[in-house]
Structure 1
Amino acid sequence: MNAHNPTTPPAGLVYQAHLDPSAILALRWQMLGAPGTTPAACRLADDGAGAHHGLLTPEGLVVCCLSVFNRPQGLVQIRKVATHPAWQRRGLGAWLMGQAMAEAAGQGRLGVWLNARAGAEGFYQKLGFHQAGEPYLEGGVGFVRMARALQRPA
């Protein structure tokens, strides 16, 4: 992460806050898709209503992405957080989460929730999330709901 300027994308990457969902489908599928499926299986029914954030190389390759959806009661849901294997462990996911949460807070949103994959809870805890539900299985994959409040910018 860029500790000196949290709004500057890390590692010479380009940040885009509102990508077309088709631009992130391949990375979603590579990182989150079930074996034997196609990229179309990672398309969400409400993708058209979401804000799709991404970090791209100067050549346009999406290396980190997530999607944000407005939900009732002033909340947002973050879905499909994915980082290309060659770019993991560089703070990209944390940086992109920070940007998405800052944008949501700037829009007056009060909190954020997500369904974390089993094993990823520590990543989200470092970003201020806490467990907000019991672990569950979906399609043979373990998840747990996590949430946190958002702070409006000063």
Structure 2
Amino acid sequence: MAGPDAELTIRAIEAADTYPLRHAVLWPDQPLAYVRVPDDEAGVHLGAFHDAELVAVISLFVTGPEARFRKFATRPDWQRRGVGSRLLAATFAAARQLGAQRIWCDARQDAAAFYTRFGLRPEGPVFYKGPVAYQRMRCGL
């Protein structure tokens, strides 16, 4: 299998293009509608493609100086290969380009260490969505 730098591109996609990967990676036991976000149509959605195959997705929502990213999903066979790091870096760049000064997310607690490498820091208490523990994380851009 080729490395992540071979033929990896990141580009804007439609919200609906994110749904299958969001569903398969984040909430496979829920109905597909569960992975939709009410303001999906207002977001900027990015996909990482290896050749023409979508391997990771993320959604960015900017309101004034605040940006939030949500529904960050990387196919399991592409995890721990740098794809998510490249996609998150592109998301931070897009947020800055759209005028955001800060960025935040509700991170799955088991992924918090990954986000700290990008400067995000925990904020507030741990909370749960179903059985999954989350931590709000934030940083300046």
TM score, norm. by length of structure 1 = 0.84
Contact 1:75–1:110 (Cα < 8 Å) also in 2 = yes
Q: Displacement, 1:14? A: 2.2
The reply on whether 1:65 has 2:57 as its aligned counterpart is yes
Contact 2:46–2:59 (Cα < 8 Å) also in 1 = yes
Question: Could you list the runs of 5+ residues in structure 1 that have no partner in the other structure?
Answer: 1-8
Match of 2:24 in 1: 30
Give the number of the structure whose residues are more often strand, by fraction: 2
Q: Displacement, 1:141? A: 1.2
The reply on whether 1:12 has 2:7 as its aligned counterpart is yes
Q: Displacement, 1:112? A: 0.1
Contact 1:110–1:149 (Cα < 8 Å) also in 2 = yes
CA RMSD, aligned part only?
A: 1.4
1:2-151 map, 5 Å: 10-16=5-11, 18-35=12-29, 37-59=30-52, 61-72=53-64, 74-150=65-141
Q: Displacement, 1:115? A: 0.3
TM score, norm. by length of structure 2 = 0.91
Q: Hey, which bits of structure 1, 4+ residues long, moved more than 3 A? A: none
Write the distance in 2 (CA, Å) between the matches of 1:22 and 1:140.
26
The alignment-based identity, stated in percent, is: 33
Question: Could you list the runs of 5+ residues in structure 2 that have no partner in the other structure?
Answer: none
Secondary structure at the counterpart of residue 110 of structure 2: coil
